[in-house]
Chains A and B, each alone.
Chain A
Amino acid sequence: MLLRVLSRLVWSLATLLGVVCITFVISNIVPADPAALVAGDTATRQQVAEVRARLGLDKPLHEQLASYVGRLAIGDLGKSIFTGRPVVDDLAARLPATIELAIAALLLAVAIGLPIGVVSALRRGSLLDHIVRVITVSGFAIASFWLAVMLQLFLAMELNLLPLSGRIEVPAPLPVTRFLLIDSVLAWNGRAFVDALTHLALPTLTLALPVAATIVRFARIGVLDAMGQSFVPYAQAMGLPPTLIVSKYVLRSAMTSVVTQIGLVAGTLLGGTVVVEAVFDWPGLGGYTFNSIVMSDYSAILGATLWIAAAYIVVNVLVDVVQATIDPRKSAS
């Protein structure tokens, strides 16, 4: 198992390099001029040319790429053309917000989706099962933008239960990990903890509900599939209680597809969600990536792309490990 994980990680470096090359070339093909954008709306052509030379954007593409890969090898992701900050610093500032939101949304989605999917499968054909299926289909169809705005209007405006947007209103705790909930606990700052938690609620709900719908469906299908296996009637015949059969045997078999789905969704969430971040002014990676693309900020685009690719790779490796733990037959194969 360990060898397999290590081998996957080594191959993933090649994948990352490929991602970098492709993204670099595509970014440079797009007809936008970052030097002009840096120089300003009313800069003359000469000023733009000077800025272009200063940023090294006048060199041939292959030279720029080679230079970038060389710096990447020593952990230098370059500097954002617009913020002037190292991209590493920009990512360090943004990623904790995205990771915090992604983890919260995933946990909530699993907490909601898994039990409902299991119960729906166990009560197949019942009124509850039909209602759950209708709701989950609606969950796929709902646009995240619409859901976000509706939750804002209802929970924040009408009921005044939650803040409208942002990540925190009170002075933030000292940034140790940059995860506000953790930093609040470390600083023993209850006010900041509560404020950060309530600010996290709406974007988490917006992301979690559609994901929960997916988990419900896959959990339901997985359980139904497992219930149809021969070991279930055998266990029933052996006199094992139904709850034990489901919790110990059926669920274990059903989790394979659910874990795969969680892995896919986790990758998406860790890459940042532009729409949700825009509506809730969540300072995560989605907005940063979007702005970088709009501004043709090549270093930032590449940095964000590298992170997203790395996130998918790591999550896939974790999914493999979990799958192998759940079903040792996968590890053996």
Chain B
Amino acid sequence: MRRRHALKTALGGIAAPFVLGAEVRAQASRDGVLRIVNAVELDTLDPHAVLDTGRLNFKINVYDSLFRFQGNPPKLEPWLADKLDASPDGTVYTLHLKHGVKFHDGTEMTADDVVYSMERMLAMKQGPSRLYLDIVAPGATRAVDRYTVEFKLKRAAAPFEELLAECYIVNSALVKKNEKNGDWGREWMARNTASSGSWVVTSWEPSTGWEADRFKDHFKGWQDKAPTGVRFRTMREANSQALAMQRGDIDLFVGTLSVDQIEKMAKSANVAPMREPNLRLLLLSFNTKKPPFDDPHVRRAFSMAFDYEGWLNGIMKGAAVRATGAIPPQLPGAVPKPLFNYDLKAAADELAKATAKVDRPVSIHVMTGIARTEQCAQVLQAGLKSLGITANIVSETWPTLANRCRAIETTPDIMTIWTGPEYLDLQNWVGDAYDQTRWGDYKSCTYFSSDEITAKIKRAYSSLDPAERLKLYSEVAVAAAEGAASIYVHSESWLGVRNKRVQGFVFCPSSSGNDLRSAWLADIA
């Protein structure tokens, strides 16, 4: 009797955590919080320290910028700004701030905060600073009055208004209070916020993610059934991400997923896949300064060794369209049609014409953990094998790959990169890629350029004539496509998944789906 009683107690004790645990989890899912997967660890809270898609979810939701792209196709709209006036020569911009915008501590945002934010970015020389360093000198930004800011540029810059979408404004009084030894609050801002954005951070731990509550006094107001908070959970493993979506532990996934991962998640009754037009190109870029890729015949041969149709139909399964050049095919100025198709005979003929001989194995560098890049490299590898060329696939983390692009000698033979819509001006896709004064970052890893190309890009950047700009960028894109600077693989749709309780979510290519303001939850009372 006693033994039976003890056994029952023991079994009950073992079962209790499971039963209680299930109830705790069920309750957690009903609390009006939007739960999102964070595939990349958020290692800093400083919006001026980073400029990448992986950490954009934090910036765009916790901070506000002067302008913001909205919708799809993306449209640039004033956000903190009311309007922006430009001088006739395009070197002086006058920004009028919205009145009454509050920081999370209740203080009002003024022109001084904008000036401080710009000066801070220029001083820190990290992240978004590279968008402004060429055109804005330290000390050249001033507050005209409480709500008016004047930017005096070193030279005319046609995309300046778009670049202000990356100008996130910090609470200057709060940051200044926490500066140490003239560090612009770098140390403090890495772990604290001084923001005005839609969400107020309540907890942050790099390894687990961050949480935030809705900022009820946000200047844009809130719609009915807006989430009461957001929770970004760090989940590095693709399998765990898929399972979490299927189980309902996660509401939204906006990262990079393969088509088969989406298909797997979509089998769950509570999950809805999402597919949206995007402006993101996948390229296999050649180091055109490194033999044998300094020979355009070799590059053309390689461009004809890639099975584009097989890739688009068999692996991407219709989630991408053929790219024609450096400009996404949806945008004006794109190269009208692909210049190279899968044709091994023509590829062999090109190789025969080449002065440089492919007499060594070539390396194709891909991003660790991103299956799509590995698959892409394998398709090229298979085509090259038919030509008798050995290609080795080298998997490296993105920081290592990007680091390799600092110098011609360390840049790989071929590497997979994405070019996305950091800003929507053609400078983003063409200028940043083929301006030889920008060599040293991943976007220009082809080193495909010339004095003539650079001059065209510089002229296009400063020109205030949209038609002239379009013509110049288009000519550069055509030159790059004819010179086979890269294998322009595809322009991909964005693939995401949401729990069906999430409604109203609008994907914007510029924010890669990280802007959550439009989303609401169907199960909030």
Contact = CB atoms under 8 A, between A and B. Distances in A.
A172 B24 CA distance: 13
Nearest to B28: A169
A9 interface: no
A287 interface: yes
Given A47-B130, A82-B44, A84-B190, A33 B406 contact: yes
Nearest to A284: B207
Given A40-B51, A288-B207, A166 B233 contact: yes
A185 to B, nearest CB: 14
Interface in A217-245: none
Contacts of B187: 84
A318 interface: no
B442 interface: yes
B43 A82 contact: yes
A164 B27 CA distance: 16
A19 interface: no
A288 B398 CA distance: 17
Contacts of A41: 51-52, 398-399, 402, 441-442
B17 interface: yes
Given A41-B442, A42-B441, A291 B41 contact: yes
Given A40-B50, A157-B246, A279-B239, A32 B403 contact: yes
Contacts of A164: 240, 243-244, 247, 249
B240 A153 contact: no
A161 interface: yes
Nearest to A33: B403
Interface string A194-220: 110110010000000000000000000
Contacts, number: 153
A40 B460 CA distance: 26
A160 to B, nearest CB: 7
Interface in A68-125: 82-85, 93-94, 97
A225 B162 CA distance: 77
Contacts of A166: 208, 233
B243 A156 contact: yes
Nearest to B442: A41
Question: Quick one: which of A39, A162, A172, A283 has the most chain B CB within 10 A?
Answer: A39
Interface string B358-395: 00000000000000000000000000000000000000
A175 to B, nearest CB: 10
Contacts of B28: 169-170
B22 interface: yes
Contact of A157 (B41, B129, B234, B247): B247
A287 B209 CA distance: 14
A173 interface: no
B502 to A, nearest CB: 18
Contact of B441 (A44, A97, A163): A44
Question: Quick one: which of B27, B125, B203, B406 has the most chain A CB within 10 A?
Answer: B125
Contacts of A182: none
B203 to A, nearest CB: 8
Contact of B24 (A33, A170, A279): A170
B403 A194 contact: no
A38 interface: yes
A43 B190 contact: no
A201 B51 CA distance: 38
B147 to A, nearest CB: 32
A50 B130 CA distance: 14
Given A47-B125, A163-B25, A163-B249, A281 B130 contact: no
Contacts of B403: 32-33, 36-37
B291 to A, nearest CB: 22
B451 interface: no
A42 B130 contact: yes
A62 interface: no
A145 to B, nearest CB: 9
Contacts of A36: 402-403, 406
A143 B68 CA distance: 47
Contact of A39 (B21, B126, B191, B398): B126
Interface in B18-51: 18, 20-22, 24-25, 27-28, 41, 43-44, 46, 50-51
A42 B44 CA distance: 18
B127 interface: yes
Contacts of B249: 163-164, 169
A198 B17 contact: yes
B44 A83 contact: yes
Contacts of B130: 40, 42-44, 47
A152 B25 contact: no
A165 B25 contact: no
B206 interface: yes
B397 A278 contact: no
Given A157-B246, A197-B21, A84 B186 contact: yes
A161 B398 CA distance: 37
A294 B400 contact: yes
Contacts of A287: 207, 236
Given A33-B406, A169-B24, A198 B50 contact: no
A243 B24 CA distance: 44
Interface string A254-296: 0000000000000000000000001111011001100100110
Contacts of A85: 190-191
B440 A44 contact: yes
Contact of A51 (B126, B234, B441): B126
Given A83-B43, A194-B24, A280 B126 contact: no
Given A83-B43, A157-B247, A165-B235, A39 B125 contact: yes
B443 interface: yes
A40 B21 contact: no
Instruction: Give the 5 A-B residue pairs with the shortest CB-CB distance, closest first.
Output: A283-B207, A84-B190, A198-B21, A42-B441, A41-B402
Given A41-B441, A164-B244, A198-B18, 12 more contacts: A32-B400, A40-B50, A42-B432, A44-B130, A51-B125, A84-B190, A167-B208, A170-B24, A195-B25, A281-B237, A281-B240, A287-B236
Interface of B: 16-18, 20-22, 24-25, 27-28, 41, 43-44, 46, 50-52, 125-127, 129-130, 133, 186-187, 190-191, 203, 205-208, 233-237, 239-240, 243-244, 246-247, 249, 397-400, 402-403, 406, 432, 438, 440-443
17 contacts: A39-B125, A39-B126, A41-B51, A41-B399, A41-B442, A43-B440, A45-B406, A45-B440, A47-B126, A51-B125, A160-B22, A163-B249, A164-B249, A170-B28, A194-B24, A195-B21, A197-B21
